[in-house]
Chain A
Amino acid sequence: MRNEPLLLELQQVRKQYGTTQALNGVSVKISSGVIVGFLGQNGCGKTTLFDVIAGISRPTSGEVRIQGRKPSHRTKAMIAYMADRDFLYGWMTVGQIVDFYASFCSDWDEDRADAFMHSLALDPSDHISSLSKGFRARIKMLLALSRKAPLVLLDEPFTGVDPISKDLIVSSMMHTFQFGEQTILLSTHGTAGIDLLMDEIVLMKKGAIALHDTTERLRTELGGAISNIWREAAL
C-alpha cells in the first residue's frame, strides 16, 4: 500500500478449530512504519489472526511471512505481542512484573520503560491484584512498547478501559513511536478517534478481510466519519 519495504505478508491464511473456520483465506500486506487498525466485531477472527502472525498458533493452510521469514523463534523475537488475555500475575507488584518481563526480552529498553512508568502514572510498588482494568491496560502497554521490536501487535488495548487511561495510553504510544522502525497493528471494535491514530484500516468480517485502505482515503469516501464504515461493510 506504501512505498516502504514490506514487513508482513499473509497469503490465503486459513485457520480451523474443529468445525469453526476462524480465518477464511486472509491475504494482506503491511508495509514497515505504519499504524494499522484491525476493526471488526467480536468473533470476526482478529485475535486468531494476531496469534497466527505472532507464531503462537499455526495456520491450517496458507502462508505467513514476516520480513520474508516464516514464523519461528526468530520472528517471535521481532514481535511484541500484547494479548487481550490477562497474563499479569496478581501477586506481583508493577515493578516485579516489569523486571520479570524484561528478563525475557533481549530488546528491552530500560529508559523507555522508565519513561512509560512515569507518563502512564504507574507506581512500581502497587500490587497487580489491587489495580483496575484501566491500570492493567497501562501496564500491558508499557510491556509491549518498551521493547525495540519492529512489529507490535496490540489486541483490543482499549476494551473496557476508562477514557483517562485510554487517552494516556494513546498519548504515550504517539510519543514513543519510532519513525520508520516500528509498525503497530492494533485491533479494536470501536471507532472513536481511530481515524487520527491509524495510517491504514483493515476491516474484518467472518474470518476474512472485507476492506483494507488508507485512513485518508476512507475518510474522503465516507465523508469524514470513519464510524460510517460499519454501514459500508454491512452492504
Chain B
Amino acid sequence: MKNDKDKIARFTPAERVNHWVLALTFILLALSGLVFFHPSFYFLNNLFGGGVWARILHPFIGIVMAISFAAMFFKFKGENVLTPGDREWLKHAREMFEGDDSHMPEAGKFNAGQKLLFWLLLLCMALLLLSGLIIWRRYFSNIFPVWMVRFASLLHAASGAGIIALIMGHIYLAIWTRESMGAMLYGYVRRAWARQHHPAWFRQVNGEEK
C-alpha cells in the first residue's frame, strides 16, 4: 500500500497508535464515568468488575488519557490554528450537512470543524483533568476545601457530558464521511478523497511530491 500511487499518507504510525490509545481510554472513561453520572447508567459498573473497581480504575485511566491527549495536542496544534477562511467554512457547514458541499471554502489538512473539535477537546480535557484530580478522594480531595470539591464535581460531570457529546459527533462524522476512517486505521487516503474533502491540503501534498 505504501507505494500505491493512488494514495497519500495522512497520519504516521505513531499518530495512529496514539489516537487509538486515546480512543480506548476515552471509551473506558466514558463507560466508567457514566456509572457515577446517573443511576440509569449504574449497570455499566459490571463492565469493570463492580462499582468499587469502576471507582478505582477511572482516575488512573484518566491519567493515561491526559498524557495521550497531551501528545496529540503538541503534535497537531500547529495544524489546527483557526484562520479567517475557517470562519467562512463554518458558515457553510449547514449546507454541507444538507448534502451540498459545492460552496465550501477549501479545507487544509484539517477543516474548520475538525479544528473547532480540537480546541473544544482541549478545553474539556483540561477541565476534566483539573477537576478530576480535585475529586480524586483517595489521594487529593482531603487537601481541598469542600466548596472546591463541590465545584469540581459539578464541573467534572458537565465537561464529561460535553466531551461525550463531542466524541459522539466525531465518531459519527468519521462514519458519515466515507473512507476517512481509513486514514486513522491504515494511515493513507485516496487522492480523490483528499481532493474532495481537503483540497488545499491535497494541492500542498501534490506540490511537494512533484
Partners in one complex: no
Interface of B toward A, CB cutoff 8 Å: none
